[in-house]
Chains A and B, each alone.
Chain A
């Protein structure tokens, strides 16, 4: 009995020690920030003292970043550590990394909601070279009176298509169009896709006659509803009804969103979605199996259309993937939505904004800013960004040879030059995006496999939005 009591005493003693240690560490961190502030005044211009720790958002660019880090170390001696979060794990990784004492100095914020969540951690980039080089200031995130994030690339998405297949199809009797250029509206696209789907064998014969290796099995690449693909529809395609609704509502910032949505353009969504499902070889009842790979269907020339973004360019043309399609045969068209087809360009925006950790030491912040500036001004950096990562950078330093090689991005630019209007990334406004999308996808899945109806999709869209918006507001009001 006595031993027990002693044991309990030991326990509480151990706890007390732990708490003391806790206090101690916070006190020391307070002094260290004070000394850092002092040091910064004396050594504001000194370089090479800080460390850079970047938490990279895009898994596919990891290798390029690692190489850049090495080059930078060689050139300047500054240590750059790049960690890439696994696909879909960015929020988790960021949260745990930020809690460490050696927290990331550069991290990614996706949108205004993230800027709000990480408001205590975002350094004001207003005076940075990075921001000065940003050619379109709309591509920065302004929050709480500061420039919280600067876009490091912008992306365009739409419907990727195979020009060569459409050309062969155009030679058939009574083909709806002769070439892809004639597809300029949802009406035409629908007719073409339906027709191709109905005449797969004829198209394949024609392809063989034309000496092409492509053999199609479907018009549209599978519309997978598993977690690895459903964002194409709960995010990218959902953007269309959101964008047009926000535009009608006269919103000043079309990516900021509003508390409630009516889903007035959901019928158009349904029309497009039904086309994706109807004109595809995938079984509508098992779209969520996770066994579908739309990229390889399109890459191997089995599908003609594939809704995705310009980031797919490197995957589709990378020799290692062994895809059949060549960069000459592929191009991208807007997601025609039956609202304002003739003026519509691609959907252009980004979820990639560099933010600098304001809680890092002054030295580390300066080192991080210099590193980012180096990336967008040096030859190595610019080359890596445009060629290795295949990104379209929004900085005025990317001229001449450093302009994008990505044909999708070129098309995006061309459409804008032709006076068409880009579709903003209104889906960036989605409140509690993971939760909202999960509900929307499950309703969409039920509708598609026949176990649910379209009304449930509408409810998930409108009620889900209002609900999550309120929650998100609440969460930010408390902090």
Chain B
């Protein structure tokens, strides 16, 4: 049996591997290849080397800051949302594991925004924001900071519930013995939180911060529906910037593709660093 397994493992891997190759590996490498090409449709390309990559920063011999702007704008957006979402989700999770009445209803209510699609959600929020901003004669796209905070609110509103569920699961997983032991040793609730709950929650924190981080960088739907990158591409997050380059500028499909490759490398590197950082703080149960 063992021997047969060792001999025929490839046969068992094949279906999954084929699906993985078709669905991910081939498009991925094909995409990287296309970033060095000029193309109109993906089957019709011409090799042009690094030209696409230089066009990301230099347009008509001048520095073009659109991509750089959306890079730092996205980074700031991600930073803010990661902090708010995780802190709020953790706080709510703590409250909803204390056994207060109606816990299940609250959990459901907090989770619900997550069930609505990003586009629909953003259009609804768009109306809400504009109705309020109208009072001070502004709109969500009057300037990039209106757009920024608008997106932060929508994304937080949507994701806090989801992360909360993960935190709730993590908190419930902590053995009651540990907390009881700490209490017998005379720890107050703050000390329990700091020295028992949080250290035990490290794996959960890793997951949640990873999810919120990548979600922040990859955000597209809400950006498109809420601001559409207005005013003047100032509120374009990276994903929308890539999309806009790909379809908005004639003959720039390759440049869009090159941006996408850079985008991938960036997200991968940041996610790896984050994973390493938070994982190193995890404790053995």
Contacts and interface: CB of A to CB of B under 8 A. Distances in A.
Contacts of B130: 286, 289-291
Interface of A is mostly: helix
A18 B24 CA distance: 11
A2 B110 CA distance: 47
Contact of B26 (A15, A120, A286): A15
Interface string A457-475: 0000000000100111011
Interface stretch (A50-58, A90-98, A238-246, A391-399): A90-98
A444 B268 CA distance: 39
A288 B230 contact: yes
B38 A471 contact: no
Interface string A275-288: 00000000101101
A245 to B, nearest CB: 22
B41 A6 contact: no
B46 interface: yes
Contact of A471 (B21, B46, B60): B60
A470 B55 CA distance: 13
Contacts of B127: 291
Contacts of A14: 17-18, 20-21, 25
Contacts of B29: 15
Nearest to B27: A18
Given A10-B13, A435-B248, A120 B138 contact: no
A227 B25 contact: no
A479 B250 contact: no
B250 A18 contact: no
Nearest to A116: B250
B232 A289 contact: no
Nearest to B142: A449
B60 A91 contact: no
Contacts of A478: 38, 46, 48, 51, 251
A290 B25 contact: no
A376 to B, nearest CB: 29
Contacts of B22: 18
A286 B133 contact: yes
B249 interface: yes
Nearest to B59: A471
A65 to B, nearest CB: 24
Contacts of A438: 229-230, 232-233, 248
A18 B22 CA distance: 8
A472 B21 contact: no
Nearest to A25: B43
A439 B244 CA distance: 13
A442 B250 contact: no
B134 interface: yes
A288 B231 CA distance: 9
A120 B20 CA distance: 33
Given A283-B137, A288-B139, A476 B251 contact: yes
B247 A472 contact: no
Contact of A95 (B40, B60, B139): B40
A18 to B, nearest CB: 4
Contacts, number: 119
A10 B43 CA distance: 26
A445 interface: yes
- Range class of the A interface residue count: 35 or more
B248 A11 contact: no
Contacts of B21: 14-15, 17-18
B9 interface: yes
Interface string A113-149: 1000110100000000000000000000000000000
A285 B232 contact: no
B138 A286 contact: yes
B177 interface: no
A213 interface: no
B262 interface: no
A1 interface: no
Nearest to A113: B250
Contacts of A467: 59-60
Nearest to A476: B251
A5 to B, nearest CB: 13
B89 interface: no
B134 A286 contact: yes
B46 A479 contact: yes
Contact of B38 (A11, A288, A479): A479
B126 interface: yes
B44 A120 contact: yes
A435 B232 CA distance: 9
Contacts of A227: 228, 230
Nearest to A2: B6
Interface string A427-462: 000011011001100110110010100000000000
Contacts of A30: none
19 contacts: A10-B10, A14-B20, A91-B247, A98-B41, A113-B250, A120-B40, A227-B228, A285-B138, A286-B133, A286-B138, A291-B127, A291-B130, A431-B250, A438-B233, A438-B248, A439-B232, A442-B234, A449-B142, A467-B59
> Closest 8 A-B residue pairs measured CB to CB?
A475-B251, A442-B232, A285-B137, A99-B41, A14-B21, A289-B139, A434-B248, A18-B26
Interface of A: 6-7, 10-11, 14-15, 17-18, 91-92, 95, 98-99, 113, 117-118, 120, 227, 283, 285-286, 288-291, 431-432, 434-435, 438-439, 442-443, 445-446, 449, 451, 467, 470-472, 474-476, 478-479
Interface of B: 9-10, 13, 17-18, 20-22, 25-26, 29, 38, 40-44, 46, 48, 51, 59-60, 126-127, 130, 133-134, 137-143, 228-234, 247-253
Given A6-B10, A288-B230, 20 more contacts: A18-B26, A98-B40, A99-B43, A118-B40, A227-B228, A286-B133, A286-B142, A289-B130, A290-B139, A291-B127, A291-B130, A431-B250, A442-B234, A446-B231, A467-B60, A470-B60, A471-B249, A474-B251, A478-B48, A479-B46
